[in-house]
């Protein structure tokens, strides 16, 4: 997913690196410009056809015009902060539960063998099918949504952590023990640095799934967040607001995903990986 | 969506020493079976215990319907009344339709991304942006564009599933040794031959890996997509059970969703292993 990186030969001179970066920025902008142009043409065709004229709000120009209004009304900020709170809490719970269980899976063969079938089974329960139970258990919708995000994203964190630990050379543990490392030191000095890369890979996957779950979870019950904003725009037939929210979701998702990709690269110690 | 996904999925494999004797393999698969059932048994025991403890206080008596025994009984009843077969059939149709579209669109574009640097560089930012648009946010648009709810759901699944197929195909192609193409050209292979004799065999593994990821996402999208509009499928059955307060039906449906998903995922994992030619993969 980091094709742009391939353009820069490692260890080249700064001028070459600058050239590669410029090329990357050019491609990035040109790609988005092509997408915008296609969108504009599509919107133009919709607006020209008398049968579809009522959907002209889907066009690029109308969508971009909708942003200042959404911002001034505070809709955009409210939706983003409400969704961010739910996404953040859900991911946090997934990490707090997923990483320790992943470490146990990676370290204990017995636990791994026994837990595999149930975890795989639970993983394949589509997260939104927990929704009725979540609503039943948690009184507040906010908490149900956080639960849904956590249960959707815990598996990738867990399995990535376990996979990362499986790649760690067992000799490291022996060396650490011989040097008199305590369990805590083993955890902070060996396990965590070794698997930080895999944990972030898991978090990136988790974010992808959480992002998919967030919107439908917010379509029901709540009156805030990105999912609600989309539903609201549809019900009021303000199609320009609808596409503006869709675009916002794409941009925020893109930023989050890119940040995770950068973190993964930062913590990578496997040669040739990432 | 790197290749690092939940491939820990099959640690049971690790216990099969490669190239061991058949008796050892037999013992390992016996161990695997034992672990499989023991693991599920523990899960159901914990489930039973949780509901038992919850229903100890009379205030929470309505929780009893969430237990494993009512759920298993409900599966039998729902199978006979045709609820489960119908849900399997309709959801299977939508999932299959969406995945087929995702594969038909994703594989050729993935090959293009892998082969043409120009296309790869230009398409990266728009594709990444569109990938991160949460699939269900297309729903209002899909409902307007498509006349039938069925088509709208298939569209949502396709738009969710196309990205992993596309990017896996591209990643697979970039691992292919460029010398193969040169050799093929020197031996007089036509572009068609290059596709059927080199590209497809080489990337089958990666395409299948992408399809497995795509099934994972499609599975997540399917249920909420069926919450609205339609009157059949997994999502509808869950929504229906909730509204009619039939919690045993709800749990039964969750079990069916988990079991079908597990079977799909395991089937794809086996296919991936079958088509693997990367050492150690």
B75 plus B206 within the same structural domain:
yes
Please give the share of chain B, as a percent, with pLDDT higher than 90: 52
Please tell me the predicted confidence (pLDDT) of residue A174: 87
Put simply, the answer to whether B134 touches A251 (Cβ < 8 Å) is no
B198 plus B156 within the same structural domain:
yes
Q: Which of residues 53-72 of A touch B (CB under 8 A)?
A: 55, 58
* Residue B226 per-residue DSSP state: T
Q: Which of B8, B30, B53 lies at the terminal end of a domain, its last residue? A: B53
- Judged by phi (left if over 0) then psi (alpha if -120 to 50, else beta), residue B276 lies in beta
Q: Which of residues 149-178 of A touch B (CB under 8 A)?
A: 152, 155-156, 159-160, 162-163, 166
Chain B CB within 8 Å of residue A95 CB: no
* Shortest alpha-carbon distance between residue A149 and chain B (Å): 11
B46 plus B131 within the same structural domain:
no
Buried b (16+ CB within 10 A) or exposed e, A35-49: beeebeeebeebbee
What is the chain B residue with the closest CA to A132?
B242
Highest-pLDDT range among A71-75, A254-258, B200-204: A254-258
Put simply, the answer to whether B264 touches A55 (Cβ < 8 Å) is no
Please give the share of chain B, as a percent, with pLDDT higher than 70: 91
Per-residue pLDDT reduced to its tens digit, B33-46: 888 899 999 999 99
- pLDDT band, residue B20 (cuts 50/70/90): low
Domain count for chain B, please give it.
Answer: 2
Q: A57: closest CA among A72, A43, A45, A36?
A: A43
* Structure tokens given for B141: 């648009």
Put simply, the answer to whether B2 touches A1 (Cβ < 8 Å) is yes
- pLDDT band, residue B180 (cuts 50/70/90): confident
- pLDDT band, residue A60 (cuts 50/70/90): confident
Please tell me the predicted confidence (pLDDT) of residue A271: 54
* Structure tokens given for A130: 């927990």
Select from A132, A159, A202 the Cβ nearest to the Cβ of B250. Answer: A132
* Shortest alpha-carbon distance between residue A72 and chain B (Å): 23
Put simply, the answer to whether A250 touches B120 (Cβ < 8 Å) is no
Instruction: Say how many Å lie between the first and final Cα of chain A, rounded.
Output: 9
Task: Give the orientation angle of helix A109-123 with respect to helix B247-274, to 10 degrees.
Answer: 120
Buried b (16+ CB within 10 A) or exposed e, A51-73: eeeebbbbbbebbeebeeebeee
* Burial class for A246, CB neighbours closer than 10 Å (0-12, 13-18, 19+): buried
Per-residue pLDDT reduced to its tens digit, B136-175: 999 999 988 898 899 999 999 999 999 999 999 999 988 8
- pLDDT band, residue A37 (cuts 50/70/90): very high
* Burial class for A257, CB neighbours closer than 10 Å (0-12, 13-18, 19+): buried
Task: Give the orientation angle of helix A75-107 with respect to helix A226-235, to 10 degrees.
Answer: 140
Q: C-alpha angle B222/B225/B227, rounded to 5°? A: 115
Q: Where are the beta strands (DSSP E) in B82-175?
A: none
Q: List the domain range (segments joined by +) for residue B153.
A: 68-274
At residue B21, does pLDDT exceed 70? Answer: no
Select from B39, B167, B258 the Cβ nearest to the Cβ of A125. Answer: B258
Put simply, the answer to whether B129 touches A32 (Cβ < 8 Å) is yes
Q: A198: closest CA among A174, A165, A149, A155?
A: A165
Number of residues that this document lists for chain A = 274
Please tell me the predicted confidence (pLDDT) of residue A183: 84
CATH number (3.40.50.920, 3.40.50.300, 3.30.499.10, 1.10.3720.10) of A59-266 reads: 1.10.3720.10
Residue B8 lies in a domain: no
């Amino acid at each position: 997913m980091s094709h742009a990186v391939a353009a820069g030969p490692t260890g080249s001179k700064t001028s070459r690196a600058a050239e590669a970066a410029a090329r990357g920025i050019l491609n990035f902008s040109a790609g988005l410009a092509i997408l915008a142009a296609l969108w504009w043409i599509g919107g133009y065709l919709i607006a020209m056809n008398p049968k579809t004229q009522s959907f002209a709000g889907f066009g690029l120009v109308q969508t971009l015009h909708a942003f200042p209004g959404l911002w001034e009304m505070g809709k955009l900020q409210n939706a983003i902060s409400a969704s961010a709170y739910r996404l953040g809490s859900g991911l946090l719970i997934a990490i707090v539960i997923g990483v320790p269980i992943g470490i146990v899976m990676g370290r204990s063969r017995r636990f791994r063998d026994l837990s595999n079938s149930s975890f795989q089974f639970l993983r394949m329960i589509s997260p939104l099918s927990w929704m009725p139970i979540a609503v039943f258990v948690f009184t507040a919708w906010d908490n149900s949504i956080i639960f849904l995000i956590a249960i959707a994203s815990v598996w990738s964190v867990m399995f990535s952590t376990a996979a990362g630990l499986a790649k760690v050379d067992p000799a490291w543990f022996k060396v650490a023990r011989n040097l008199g490392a305590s369990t805590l030191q083993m955890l902070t000095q060996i396990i965590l640095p070794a698997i930080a890369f895999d944990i972030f890979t898991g978090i990136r996957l988790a974010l992808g799934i959480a992002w998919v779950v967030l919107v439908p979870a917010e379509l029901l019950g709540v009156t805030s967040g990105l999912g609600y904003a989309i539903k609201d725009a549809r019900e009021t037939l303000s199609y320009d607001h609808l596409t503006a929210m869709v675009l916002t979701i794409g941009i925020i998702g893109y930023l989050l995903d890119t940040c995770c990709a950068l973190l993964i690269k930062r913590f990578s110690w496997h040669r040739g990986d990432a | 969506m790197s290749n690092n996904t939940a491939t820990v999925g099959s640690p049971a494999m690790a216990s099969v020493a490669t190239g061991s004797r058949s008796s050892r393999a037999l013992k390992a698969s016996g161990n695997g079976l034992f672990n499989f059932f023991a693991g599920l048994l523990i899960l159901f025991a914990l489930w039973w215990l949780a509901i038992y403890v919850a229903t100890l206080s009379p205030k929470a008596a309505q929780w009893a319907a969430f237990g494993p025994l009512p759920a298993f009984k409900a599966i039998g009843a729902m199978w006979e009344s045709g609820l489960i077969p119908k849900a399997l059939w309709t959801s299977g149709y939508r999932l299959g339709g969406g995945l087929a579209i995702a594969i038909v669109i994703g594989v050729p574009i993935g090959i293009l991304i892998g082969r043409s640097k120009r296309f790869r560089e230009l398409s990266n930012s728009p594709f990444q942006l569109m990938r991160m648009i949460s699939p269900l946010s297309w729903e209002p648009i899909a409902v307007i564009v498509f006349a039938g709810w069925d088509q709208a759901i298939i569209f949502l699944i396709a738009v969710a599933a196309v990205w992993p197929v596309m990017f896996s195909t591209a990643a697979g192609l970039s691992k292919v040794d460029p010398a193969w193409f040169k050799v093929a050209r020197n031996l007089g292979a036509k572009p068609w031959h290059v596709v059927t004799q080199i590209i497809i065999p080489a990337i089958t593994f990666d395409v299948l890996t992408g399809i497995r990821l795509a099934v994972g996402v499609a599975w997540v999208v399917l249920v909420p997509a069926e919450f609205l509009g339609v009157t059949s499928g997994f999502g509808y059955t869950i929504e229906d059970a909730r509204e009619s307060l039939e919690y045993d039906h709800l749990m039964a449906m969750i079990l069916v969703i988990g079991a079908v998903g597990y079977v799909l995922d395991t089937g794809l994992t086996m296919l991936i292993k079958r088509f693997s030619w990367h050492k150690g993969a």
